[in-house]
């Protein structure tokens, strides 16, 4: 799993240097579209824009790799399920027929729409994570009044994924050393991951106690006013970009209401 980037990638790019709040506002815009829009064209456009932004942010290759890994299965299942069980009821148009199995055109189209819709949401968050330094993100979250515990939660969640993956590697090495077969046919390989689940899940739960002590010792529940190691400056460009996202949001809402 080491090929999959789940955390910040250090690069020097326009996207990286933006204030995290700018990225937040644009992510929120996509979330609103995700919740309220039913246009496939719109989602395809959003997907393309995010992909271009990923290349602008110099993380294009890792972005595509991660995205294919996350969205590929969703597309596959979405097309299969919606194609087989058309959500709009019985359809006349059959795209593909195999004995008694019919994939309907309408269902297939809906599956495609659903895939692009989810893809837009996942890719915008993924790009955000890849290009935003967690420390800066927490700082700017605090400046707009987010509670610091929530900031920590977001930060720690992002960091726990690579840690758990590393932990999984250690456990599988230990199990291999005691004779677990991890090479061979696909079923054998998949089967090898089952004994991994117990230790990694239980281990993480047990670590909660230790983690709690570690946090408490560092004054996590102290009632003092919190401070930050970093300062976040908001430039004029940042402000303009935030304003632009708000304007786009308003335009979208107006169009939805009128149209």
Partner 1 sequence: MTVIEFKDFKWHYFEREEHDLQGVNLKIKKGEFVGLLGPSGSGKTAFCYSIMGVVPHLSQGRVKGGKVIIDGLDTQDSSIGELSSRVGIIMQSPKSQLTGAGLTIEEEVAFGLENTGVPRSEMGKRIKSVLKRVGLYELRKRSPFEVSGGQMQKVGIASVLVLEPKILILDEPTGYLDPGGTEAVFSLVKKLNNQGKTIIIVTHKLEYLARYADRIILFNNGRVVRDGSPQEILSDTKLLKRNKIDPLPVTLLGEALKKKRKWKQELPITVKEAVEGLRKVVK
How far apart CA 181 and CA 117 sit, in angstroms, is: 40
Report the alpha-carbon distance of residue 196 to residue 176 in Å, rounded. Answer: 11
Q: Taking the complex as a whole, how short is the minimal distance between the CB of residue 252 and partner 1, in angstroms?
A: 35
Which residue, 181 or 216, is less far from partner 1 as judged by CB?
216
CB 33 within 8 A of CB 252: yes
DSSP letter, residue 88 = T
Structure tokens at 9: 């990638």
CA distance 87 to 77: 14
Q: How far is the CB of 7 from partner 1 (least distance, A)?
A: 8
Task: Give 35 or 224: the residue with its C-beta nearer to partner 1.
Answer: 224
Q: Which is nearer to partner 1, 98 or 209 (CB)?
A: 209
- Using the minimum distance from each CB to partner 1, give the nearer residue, 187 or 222: 222
Q: Which tokens is 195 given?
A: 């004994």
Q: Rounded to the nearest whole angstrom, what is the least distance from the CB of residue 218 to partner 1 in the complex?
A: 4
Toward partner 1, which CB reaches closer, 159 or 182?
159
- Residues at the interface with partner 1 (CB under 8 A): 8, 133-135, 148, 152, 155-156, 159-160, 163, 166, 207, 209-229, 231
Sequence-ordered alpha helix ranges (H) in the chain = 14-17, 20-36, 40-56, 60-84, 105-131, 134-143, 148-177, 186-217, 236-258
| Shortest separation between residue 245's beta carbon and partner 1, angstroms | 27
Both structure tokens of 218: 């560092």
Q: What is the largest CA-CA distance in the chain?
A: 70
CB of 131 vs partner 1, minimal distance in Å: 14
DSSP, collapsed to helix, strand or coil, labels residue 103 as strand
Which residue from 78, 88, 87 is spatially nearest to 113, judged by alpha carbons?
A: 78
Q: Which is nearer to partner 1, 83 or 134 (CB)?
A: 134
Q: How far is the CB of 5 from partner 1 (least distance, A)?
A: 14
Report in angstroms how near the CB of residue 203 gets to partner 1 at its nearest: 11
Closer CB to partner 1, 231 or 257, in the complex: 231
Cβ-proximal residues to 84 (8 Å cutoff; 6+ apart), any chain:
101, 102, 103, 107
Q: 46 vs 13, 35, 244, 250, CA distance in Å?
A: 21, 14, 16, 17
């Amino acid at each position: 799993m080491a090929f999959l980037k789940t955390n910040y990638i250090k690069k020097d790019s326009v996207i990286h240097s933006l204030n995290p709040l700018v990225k937040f506002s644009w992510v929120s815009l996509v979330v609103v579209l995700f919740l309220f829009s039913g246009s496939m064209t719109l989602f395809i456009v959003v997907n393309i824009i995010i992909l271009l932004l990923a290349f602008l942010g110099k993380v294009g290759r890792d972005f595509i790799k991660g995205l294919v890994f996350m969205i590929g299965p969703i597309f596959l299942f979405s097309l299969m399920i919606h194609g087989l069980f058309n959500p709009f009821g019985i359809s006349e148009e059959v795209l593909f027929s195999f004995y008694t199995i019919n994939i309907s055109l309408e269902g297939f189209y809906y599956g495609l729409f659903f895939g692009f819709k989810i893809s837009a949401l996942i890719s915008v968050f993924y790009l955000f994570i890849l290009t935003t330094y967690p420390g800066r993100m927490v700082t700017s979250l605090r400046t707009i009044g987010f509670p610091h515990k929530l900031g920590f939660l977001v930060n720690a969640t992002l960091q726990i994924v690579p840690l758990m993956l590393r932990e999984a590697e250690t456990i599988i090495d230990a199990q291999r050393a005691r004779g677990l077969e991890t090479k061979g046919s696909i079923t054998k390989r998949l089967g090898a991951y089952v004994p991994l689940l117990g230790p990694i899940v239980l281990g993480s739960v047990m670590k909660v106690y230790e983690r709690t002590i570690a946090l408490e010792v560092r004054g996590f529940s102290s009632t003092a006013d919190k401070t930050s190691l970093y300062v976040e400056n908001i430039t004029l460009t940042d402000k303009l970009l935030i304003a632009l996202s708000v304007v786009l949001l308003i335009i979208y809402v107006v169009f939805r209401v009128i149209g």
